[in-house]
Amino acid sequence: MRYFELLGIQHVLLFVFPTLIFMILFYLGITHSHFRSKDSEERLTKIVHNYPHGLESRNAPFPLILILVISGIVVWIFLYTLVTGLLGVKI
């Protein structure tokens, strides 16, 4: 008798590796990709606020991947609401 619905190591690997790849790509997207402007490099290095316990705040540019994620969610919500309303699906 199995405790879980997984049939073996194949299913575990099929769930773990895509998740790890997504996490690595998302990390790279957040850390290395943002809109460039004249003062981008200065904003990345200039410390704006100092907080207790050695915490520092910078006014860094907003990551491009987060803009794409947020805009994708907004588009999905709009299309989901539109299609659900047009097809008359009961929620």
- Using a pLDDT cut of 90, give the percent of the chain over it: 22
Q: Cα(52)–Cα(60) distance, rounded to whole angstroms?
A: 20
8 A C-beta contact, residue 34 and residue 61: yes
Q: Which domain holds residue 61?
A: 9-87
Q: Identify whether 3 is part of a domain.
A: no
Q: Is the pLDDT of residue 1 over 60?
A: no
Q: Work out the average pLDDT over 20-46.
A: 82
Q: Identify whether 44 is part of a domain.
A: yes
Report pLDDT for 42: 81
Strand spans (E) along the chain: 47-50, 56-58
Q: Is the pLDDT of residue 39 over 70?
A: yes
Cβ-Cβ contacts under 8 Å for 29 (sequence gap 6 or more): 63, 64, 65
Element (H, E) at 2: none
| Of 61 and 83, more confident | 83
Q: Identify whether 4 is part of a domain.
A: no
pTM: 0.59
* Structural domains in the chain (count): 1
8 A C-beta contact, residue 34 and residue 62: yes
Q: Identify whether 72 is part of a domain.
A: yes
